[in-house]
C-alpha cells in the first residue's frame, strides 16, 4: 500500500507532520480530515523513502514496545487517571531512543488539546494503523482505556502468530541448510581425495555412479563461483519480478490453489483479518471503516484486493458475507461464522471466535507440516550422503577387483 508524507494543521492550529498509508492520495486526505487535521501537503513516497517508512512500523522491537505502551496506557486509564497523566507515566517507562521521541510528540500534542487518535495518526507509520481508529472509537464512547487494552491484546496476539510461524519454519530451514552444507563438504573435500586413486583406472571400468559423483565434484570446484553468481542473479531477478504488482498478485492467487499450502496461507491471513475486524467492530468502529483498516493486515494481494472490493460494496449499503463468498476470499468456515454474526447482530464476537478457531487450526497444520518435513529432510540427507559413499565404495571395490585380476 502506498505511503504518503503529509503536513497538516491540528484543531489548535499547530502544524504537524508525519506519514500515512492509503490506497490513493484522496484516501490519505480523507483519513487526515477524519482525524481532525487540515491537510496542507500530501506527497506520495517512492523508492527507498517508502520502504524506509514501512520498515519503521514493521520493526519487531518497536512493535513489542508499542504493545507494552498501549497495555500500560489502558491499565492507567481504566484506573481513573487523566489522559495526559496516564500518557506521561507510560511514556516515562519507554526508554527506546527511536520510539520515545515519537511518544513524546504524542504527549505534547495531547497536552496542547489534540485528541489521542489524531496525535497517534500524526506519527504516520510508527504505530499500527489500528491504533488511531480504536483510539477514536474509545474517545467517542468514553471507553478509551478499554479501547487501548483491546488494542494491546490484539497486537500481542498478532505478534504471537508471527512468532509461532517463525518458530515453525526455523527447524526445517536449519535442517535444509545443514543438509546442503554436508553435501557441499562432501563434493568439495571428501570426493576429491579419491580422484588420484581412480585416475589410473582403464576407461569404462569405473561405475557410472562413481563417474557422475566425481564429475559433479569437479564441476562444483571449478565452476562454483559461476554457479553461485547464477544463483544470486536468479534470486535477484525473482525478487525484481515479485516486486511487480501484477506478478505478485498472480503468485499470491496461485499459492491459494496449492493443496494444503493454500489452505494454510488462507487461514493465516483470515486469522489476522478476523481478529482485527472483530476488535474494531467491538470497539465501535463502523463496518466500512473497519474493513478498510482490517484489509491492511492481509499480505496476500488476491485476498487484499477482494476485501477492498467488498469494502466498497459495504460502504454502498451491501452485506458482508455474500460478496466475500462471491470473490472466494475466505474459506467456508469463515463465511459461516460471518453469516451467523450478521444474522444475529453479533459480528464482532463471531469474528473473534473465528480467529480463535482458525488460529488453533493453523497451529495444528504447522505442527503436522513440521512432523512430515523434518524426517523427510533427514532421510533425504541420509540418502544423498549414502549414495555418494556407495558410489565411491563401488569404485574402490571395482578397482581392487581389477587389480587382483591383473
Instruction: Please state, as a whole number, how many other Cβ atoms lie within 10 Å of the Cβ of residue 193.
Output: 9
pLDDT at 340: 92
Give the residue with greater pLDDT, 191 vs 85. 85
CATH 1.10.645.10 is held by the domain 157-406? no
Q: How far apart are the first and last CA of the chain?
A: 75
pLDDT at 388: 80
pLDDT band at 4 (very low <50, low <70, confident <90, very high): confident
**pLDDT tens digits for 306-335?**
888 888 888 888 788 888 888 888 889 999
Assign 3-class secondary structure to the chain.
CCEEEEEEECCCCCEEEEEEECCCHHHHHHHHHHCCCEEEEEEEECHHHHHHHHHHHHCHHHHHHHHHHHHHHHHHHHCCCCHHHHHHHHHHCCCCCCHHHHHHHHHHHHHCCCCHHHHHHCCHHHCCCHHHHHHHHHHHHCCHHHHHHHHHHHHHHHHHHHHHHHHHHHHHHHHHHHHHHHHHHHHHHHHHHHHHHHCCCCCCCCCHHHHHHHHHHHHHHHHHHHHHHHHHHHHHHHHHHHCCHHHHHHHHHHHHHCCCHHHHHHHHHHHHHHHHHHHHHHCCCCHHHHHHHHHCCCCCHHHHHHHHHHHHHHHCCCCCHHHHHHCCCCCHHHHHHHHHHHHHCCHHHHHHHHHHHHHHHHHHHHHHHHHHHHHHHHHHHHHHHHHHHHHHHHHHHHHHHHHHHC
pLDDT band at 124 (very low <50, low <70, confident <90, very high): low
Question: Average pLDDT for residues 76-104, to the nearest whole number?
Answer: 87
CATH number (1.20.1630, 1.20.120, 3.90.79, 1.20.81) of 3-127 reads: 1.20.81
pLDDT at 336: 92
pLDDT at 9: 74
Q: Could you check whether 3-127 and 157-406 share the same CATH topology?
A: yes
Dihedral angle, C-alpha 72, 78, 82, 88, nearest 10 ° = 0
| 8 Å CB contact between 89 and 81 | yes
What gap in Å lies between CA 124 and CA 18, rounded to an integer?
5
pTM passes above 0.85: no
**pLDDT tens digits for 8-60?**
776 666 666 666 766 677 777 777 776 667 777 777 765 544 444 444 444 56
What gap in Å lies between CA 3 and CA 282, rounded to an integer?
28
| 8 Å CB contact between 76 and 89 | yes
Dihedral angle, C-alpha 168, 301, 272, 86, nearest 10 ° = 110
For the chain, the average pLDDT equals: 81
pLDDT at 46: 59
pLDDT at 251: 87
pLDDT at 354: 92
**pLDDT tens digits for 349-380?**
999 899 899 988 988 888 888 888 888 888 88
pLDDT band at 156 (very low <50, low <70, confident <90, very high): confident
Residue 84 has pLDDT above 80, yes or no: yes
| 8 Å CB contact between 45 and 20 | no
pLDDT band at 270 (very low <50, low <70, confident <90, very high): very high
Question: Average pLDDT for residues 259-284, to the nearest whole number?
Answer: 87
**pLDDT tens digits for 195-215?**
777 776 666 667 777 778 888
CA 385 remoteness from chain centre: 36
Residue 62 has pLDDT above 90, yes or no: no
CA 345 remoteness from chain centre: 31
**pLDDT tens digits for 92-120?**
888 877 788 888 888 888 888 888 888 88
- Domains of the chain, by residue range, sit at 3-127, 157-406
Amino acid at each position: 500500500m502506498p505511503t504518503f508524507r503529509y503536513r497538516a494543521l491540528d484543531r489548535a492550529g499547530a502544524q504537524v507532520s508525519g506519514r500515512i498509508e492509503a490506497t490513493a492520495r484522496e484516501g490519505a486526505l480523507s483519513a487526515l480530515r477524519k482525524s481532525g487535521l487540515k491537510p496542507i501537503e500530501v506527497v506520495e513516497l517512492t523508492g527507498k523513502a517508502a520502504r524506509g517508512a514501512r520498515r519503521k512500523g514493521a520493526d519487531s522491537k518497536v512493535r513489542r514496545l508499542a504493545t507494552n505502551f498501549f497495555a500500560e496506557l489502558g491499565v492507567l486509564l481504566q484506573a481513573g487517571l487523566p489522559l495526559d497523566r496516564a500518557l506521561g507515566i507510560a511514556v516515562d517507562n519507554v526508554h527506546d531512543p527511536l520510539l520515545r521521541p515519537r511518544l513524546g510528540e504524542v504527549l505534547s500534542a495531547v497536552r496542547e488539546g489534540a485528541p489521542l487518535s489524531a496525535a497517534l495518526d500524526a506519527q504516520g507509520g510508527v504505530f499500527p494503523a489500528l491504533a488511531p481508529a480504536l483510539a477514536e472509537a474509545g474517545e467517542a464512547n468514553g471507553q478509551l482505556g478499554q479501547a487501548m487494552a483491546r488494542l494491546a491484546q490484539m497486537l500481542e496476539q498478532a505478534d504471537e502468530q508471527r512468532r509461532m510461524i517463525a518458530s515453525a519454519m526455523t527447524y526445517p530451514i536449519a535442517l535444509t541448510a545443514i543438509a546442503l552444507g554436508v553435501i557441499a563438504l562432501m563434493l568439495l573435500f571428501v570426493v576429491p581425495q579419491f580422484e588420484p586413486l581412480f585416475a589410473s583406472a582403464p576407461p569404462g571400468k569405473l561405475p557410472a555412479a562413481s563417474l557422475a559423483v566425481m564429475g559433479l565434484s569437479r564441476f562444483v570446484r571449478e565452476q562454483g563461483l559461476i554457479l553461485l553468481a547464477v544463483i544470486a542473479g536468479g534470486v535477484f531477478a525473482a525478487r525484481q519480478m515479485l516486486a511487480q504488482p501484477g506478478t505478485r498478485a498472480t503468485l499470491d492467487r496461485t499459492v491459494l490453489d496449492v493443496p494444503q499450502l493454500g489452505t494454510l496461507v488462507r487461514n493465516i491471513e483470515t486469522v489476522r483479518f478476523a481478529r482485527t475486524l472483530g476488535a474494531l467492530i467491538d470497539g465501535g468502529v463502523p463496518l466500512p471503516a473497519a474493513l478498510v483498516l482490517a484489509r491492511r493486515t492481509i499480505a496476500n494481494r488476491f485476498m487484499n484486493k477482494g476485501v477492498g472490493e467488498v469494502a466498497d460494496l459495504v460502504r454502498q449499503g451491501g452485506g458482508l458475507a455474500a460478496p466475500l463468498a462471491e470473490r472466494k476470499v475466505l474459506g467456508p468456515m469463515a463465511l459461516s461464522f460471518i453469516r451467523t454474526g450478521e444474522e444475529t447482530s453479533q459480528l464482532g464476537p463471531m469474528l473473534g471466535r473465528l480467529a480463535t478457531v482458525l488460529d488453533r487450526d493453523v497451529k495444528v497444520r504447522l505442527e503436522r507440516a513440521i512432523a512430515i518435513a523434518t524426517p523427510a529432510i533427514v532421510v533425504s540427507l541420509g540418502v544423498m550422503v549414502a549414495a555418494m559413499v556407495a558410489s565411491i565404495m563401488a569404485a574402490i571395490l571395482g578397482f581392487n577387483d581389477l587389480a587382483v585380476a591383473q
